[in-house]
Amino acid sequence: MSEATTIPYGKITTPEQLGRLVRHQRKAQGATQAEFAALCGVGVRFISELENGKPTLELGKVLQVLHCLGLELSLGPRGWPTSPSPSGTHPC
Amino acid sequence: MSEATTIPYGKITTPEQLGRLVRHQRKAQGATQAEFAALCGVGVRFISELENGKPTLELGKVLQVLHCLGLELSLGPRGWPTSPSPSGTHPC
DNA sequence: CAAGAATATTACCGAACGGGAATAATATCG
DNA sequence: CGATATTATTCCCGTTCGGTAATATTCTTG
């Protein structure tokens, strides 16, 4: 697996990390920020700020956008392995 | 496993769900909202609102509080199994 | 049950969110 | 490289966040 195909899932400890993943997923789905904003029912500004890791965004809107991306957050103890395998195989 | 020992981890799709999990973890650690707020560097008000599922809270502060709880969010496609087993055993 | 502990709510107030539009800046692509 | 597309930033403005303290309400416990 090359650097170019970064795993689009993973741990979220900062708004920046979340933003990077959101942008990656959006682009993977071939949508512009404007299209995506309309789809999610938020403003373009929000999408831009989210993707750029702005820490003061509303939690509920963030979750709303994740839902639109077909993504889901899961909460667990720090360090526990959760990243789905990019090849689709199971962790074990 | 009885009703009293609800799994404290899982999927997060709404602020309410997150709030319930946060409250559960805080109580499991035997801390009051005030103690916990001081520990996390936020106000008591924020903890109360977070635990009650207020949707407009700042994302960055939420992540900060989760860090203090020794918790971590993980992002993946909807439906993918991620809940750690409460008994400590591996998913498979 | 009553006292005390814990939590929710209110007040004050400066900072700032976010929609939508406009525009500046940056990225893309033939 | 230049034209176009996309994204970031700015503007306006009503609404509200969140710290802190006070207080109302609810929960816990002996």
| pLDDT of amino acid B18 | 95
| pLDDT of amino acid A38 | 95
Side by side, the strands of the sheet bearing B71-77 are A10-12, B71-77, A71-77, B10-12
| pLDDT of amino acid A11 | 87
User: In terms of residue numbers, what domain contains A25?
Assistant: 15-68
Q: Please report which helix (H) or strand (E) contains residue B87, including its range.
A: none
User: How many other CB atoms are there within 10 angstroms of residue B76's CB atom?
Assistant: 20
User: How many other CB atoms are there within 10 angstroms of residue B50's CB atom?
Assistant: 26
A90 occurs within a structural domain:
no
Q: Phi, psi (5° rounding) for residue B23?
A: -60, -45
| pLDDT of amino acid A83 | 53
Q: Across residues B35-43, what is the average pLDDT? A: 95
- A interface test, pick of B73, B80, B83, B92 with most A CB neighbours within 10 Å: B73
A6 occurs within a structural domain:
no
- The 10s digit of each residue's pLDDT in B52-92 is 999 999 999 999 999 999 988 988 888 766 555 444 434 43
- Tell me how close the Cα of B83 comes to any Cα of chain A, in angstroms: 7
- The 10s digit of each residue's pLDDT in A13-54 is 999 999 999 999 999 999 999 999 999 999 999 999 999 999
Mean pLDDT of chain A: 83
The residue ranking higher by pLDDT, A30 or A89, is A30
Q: What's the distance, Cα to Cα, between the start and end of chain B in Å?
A: 19
How many domains is chain B built from?
A: 1
Residue of chain B whose alpha carbon sits nearest to that of A55: B60
A21 occurs within a structural domain:
yes
Interface predicted TM-score of the whole assembly (ipTM), two decimals: 0.85
At CB < 8 Å, which residues of chain A contact B?
9-15, 18, 21, 55-63, 66-67, 70-80, 82-84, 90-92
Mark the nucleotides of strand D covered by protein, meaning any atom under 7 Å from a CB.
5-11, 16-22
Local confidence band at B40 (pLDDT 50, 70, 90 cut-offs): very high
Q: Tell me, what CATH number does A44's domain have?
A: 1.10.260.40
A24 occurs within a structural domain:
yes
Any idea what DSSP says for residue B85?
A: P
B19 occurs within a structural domain:
yes
Per DSSP, the residues of chain A read --TTS--S-EEE-SHHHHHHHHHHHHHHTT--HHHHHHHHTS-HHHHHHHHTT-TTSBHHHHHHHHHHTTEEEEEEETT---PPPTTS----
| pLDDT of amino acid B7 | 53
pTM to 2 decimals?
0.86
Answer yes or no: are the C-beta atoms of B75 and A72 closer than 8 Å: yes
A81 occurs within a structural domain:
no
Nearest to A74 among B14, B55, B74 (CB): B74
DSSP bridge partners of B11: A74
Residue with tokens 């109580």: B27
| pLDDT of amino acid A92 | 34
B23 occurs within a structural domain:
yes
B79 occurs within a structural domain:
no
